[in-house]
Structure 1
Amino acid sequence: MPSIDEDRDAILELHKNWWEANHQLVIPLMETVFPAGDAYLMFNLNGHPYFGIKEKVALWEHYRKELDIVEFPDIEIMRLTISGDMAWIACEGIFPLRVIGESGTGSATWRTDEGIEYDPFGIRATEIYQRDDGTGAPVWKMWHFHCSPMPAADEPRAGLGGTRDERGLGCGPGITPLRMTSRGVRS
Structure 2
Amino acid sequence: MREFTADEQTILNLHRDWWEANAGLDVPRMRRVFPTGDAYLMFNLNGHPYFGIEEKTALWEWYRSRLVISMPEVHIMRLDVSGDLAYIVAEGVFPSRQLREVGDDGELLVIGESEQSFPDEIRMRATEVYKRDDGAGNPRWTMWHFHCSPIPPADEPRPSAGDTSAERGLGTVPGHETFSVVSP
TM-score of the superposed pair, with normalisation by structure 2: 0.85
Find the counterpart in structure 1 of residue 88 from structure 2. 89
Report the Cα offset of residue 84 of structure 1.
0.1
Structure exhibiting the larger radius of gyration computed from Cα positions:
2
1:154 partnered with 2:155: yes
Aligned residues of 1:37 and 1:53 also touching (Cα < 8 A): yes
Aligned residues of 2:99 and 2:117 also touching (Cα < 8 A): no
Find the counterpart in structure 2 of residue 77 from structure 1. 76
Work out the CA distance in 1 between the residues paired with 2:21 and 2:129: 17
Find the counterpart in structure 2 of residue 182 from structure 1. 183
Find the counterpart in structure 1 of residue 45 from structure 2. 45
Q: CA RMSD of the aligned region, Å?
A: 2.3
Find the counterpart in structure 1 of residue 62 from structure 2. 62
Q: Which amino acid aligns with 2:76?
A: I
Structure 2 unmatched ranges of 5 or more: 102-112
* Identity across the alignment (%): 57
Work out the CA distance in 1 between the residues paired with 2:134 and 2:14: 12
Which secondary structure does the structure 2 equivalent of 1:151 belong to?
coil
Aligned residues of 2:68 and 2:100 also touching (Cα < 8 A): no
Q: Which amino acid aligns with 1:77?
A: I
Work out the CA distance in 2 between the residues paired with 1:120 and 1:47: 16
Q: How does 1:27-46 map to 2 (within 5 A)?
A: 27-46=27-46
Runs of at least 4 residues of structure 1 off by over 6 A? Answer: 115-118
Find the counterpart in structure 1 of residue 108 from structure 2. none
Find the counterpart in structure 2 of residue 119 from structure 1. 120
Aligned pair count reads 170
Structure 1 unmatched ranges of 5 or more: 103-111
TM-score of the superposed pair, with normalisation by structure 1: 0.84
Which secondary structure does the structure 1 equivalent of 2:160 belong to?
coil
> Can you list the C-alpha shifts for 1:67-89, whole angstroms capped at 9, x where unaligned?
2212x211100000100000000
